[in-house]
Structure 1
């Protein structure tokens, strides 16, 4: 923290008996350096923040307008103040200079006792350098702490806490799209936005040479403005690589994304603010009302699944988080908000991605929609696990009715059947489908498969015949045979759910017997 004009006058300049003539409201300006000069045209050599000492020698014999011009030029350079030693050129500081300094809000000080300028400069600049070195140590220490936090895999919430401890004021992270990502030192989102509006300092965060967002330090910091800017800029420089590291480049999931998905799959408790911060750190900023669709993928190589999801995220142009957890690649995608059925839209997109990328050997399950809460996301992600395992098994033993991409809601019936004890599955088949199953066994026909395809196509003869690659007349013959064997009309709507469960149980039972 650099010393202020007020502090220097009360300490290092006390022996010179300073008297403040103007600019009292600006005495808390930080002083970056103290030096003396008698040059009239000194202003171009000033960079701002200096406390200038002069005996007024360069103003000797000039008129009031010239003296005003001298101070006006210096004030425009945003110096901290001007101190004039009395007794050499002026017995009193000319009133025109006091008036001009007052107009500009510039601290103008009369030094009423002669003290060598070299002594004043040495004393003041020693303090300035000492504090600058101390500030550098603080900033370097903050950088080291942030890097340690990154090494532990912590997200923006923890990083902002470290930054806030140094700035002593609220710090807020806002994504480039305007979404509030994380904040520290505020009670709620409204307070966070208020801190942004009255920012004491802010710095852009760049990720892979692209603008990612802004780090803002709110009002109330004990640091002087220059030091606050330095702290915020250094912190933003560390956050950039952190966010770049957490993003998921093609073929390799980000560490922050993977850890977040692992915690969600493990159903760990995550506070709302932390979830929002971790989603943003993983490259997926949250906006109001955002929903997510989970995806689970089994592939010969995890990199194949990651590239597939990465392609889908890019095609959507929407946020997404990708990671590998326990040899399964998971993702949560933000579908098009205009989609009436986000699950179907996501499934269609994934089928397109598989086709476009000529990907084989992949089994993918699209889960149920989830809200932007840890509980909702965990529930949806966890539910995709059993669905994916079932889909993989069905594709392996060719007992399923789905392609490489399916949805959990399509598998709910099979999941229920799969959870039944073997005896209950056998009883369900025997009491519902036994005559038809016996006919299939004796005649090596496929009436059970025909019935399941018919029911899954909503009882549409046209769509069922097309799916089975047979004529409608042949289908009608099979359906008549099924009706005769079962003794009831399998097309009755009230029987659809029961028959589908029984047919699923038959498939599971047949696979278990190796049929």
Structure 2
């Protein structure tokens, strides 16, 4: 500050602690001022009343340090031409910044300058806090969804923001200016290592500011903000207001139709797990799903962003209502599952397509449909088939809008068997030698391209954006590493199956 700079200040001790915050300025000549100070006070003195004895000077420095004073500035000329060495040594020993003011200075001007700066900073923080409050108040009044709330958190934080589930899976995120892939890498393992002992916590090992969304015992999820350099008071406010807005949205959503959604979830889980059929049939009828002389078809929908599940559920219920098809709709294992009840004369596939396409027009989802069944007792078959198809879907430009079992071929069979340890062991065994010799992953990519373009090696090379000689060289290295002939049909089939199993597992 100009008021202090004109006094030609020189730091004599405690230089490592010059980053301390100054909360106020005290001008004093009392040697016993220490107990009257608060943490962060800067002491200005001429030293006129300070003791002569080295031990007393050391005790004075120690008393300031014990009161957590920000520092000590001594104006030279009135008492000393230079600060006594015992006082300098004591300040250095305890880490208290000691500044000599080599010219006369008006202490009142210094105190005024510091006070104005502190008040200005406080006003700036109040304005920022008011802005954060207004942003999230407006979002709450507008009943904003999770996507809009995350947009606001990311804009206010200026960094990557992640919403994770209670199982530490990324539900949605907004990238910041830094490398978002590195920030999200190995997320689940790293997130499990960050424990909250209070509502909001900054974890220095990860550079994450983490706050609980809703009550911890509900296990709903957490909001994470990237802040490698530490969490400011403003950033904590952004995180907590954002988490509160997300929790409020979830609470409001549950209040509107939470009972219906819980009922649908219970009924679908009961149908999938083979509960009491008579009881389930009765409860389904009471829930508005008729069961006499009906046909049933299952749908499974996967949203591009898991945070959109609630909107997809609402859109599906609306589409089923428009199609006059009573339905059960719920999120199970992070996918939206649907059971439609149709009249015996209805074209079940057409109605299922109508419902799925109505949702697709409003949301970015992948849709899969099971084979219709003629009795509620078989509802688990059509629901599981839709789930199996959804797991096996591989999105391509020419893929159908609504996927069925005949669209996924052998990939559908592998999806059905994905939990069989023997299948994963087969895939690991087939790919082990290739991966052991292929740290860069280029040989595996070449093999995959060969299998995906069986009719043209030129097209396979083009898909990797490499020349044919380079492509052929990588294939040759891969064949030698595995000890196989890549022209052998059975070898190709085994490798293709292994790669598909690996892809489904991931």
Q: Compute the TM-score of the two structures, normalised by the length of structure 1.
A: 0.48
Structure number with larger C-alpha Rg: 1
Q: Compute the TM-score of the two structures, normalised by the length of structure 2.
A: 0.49
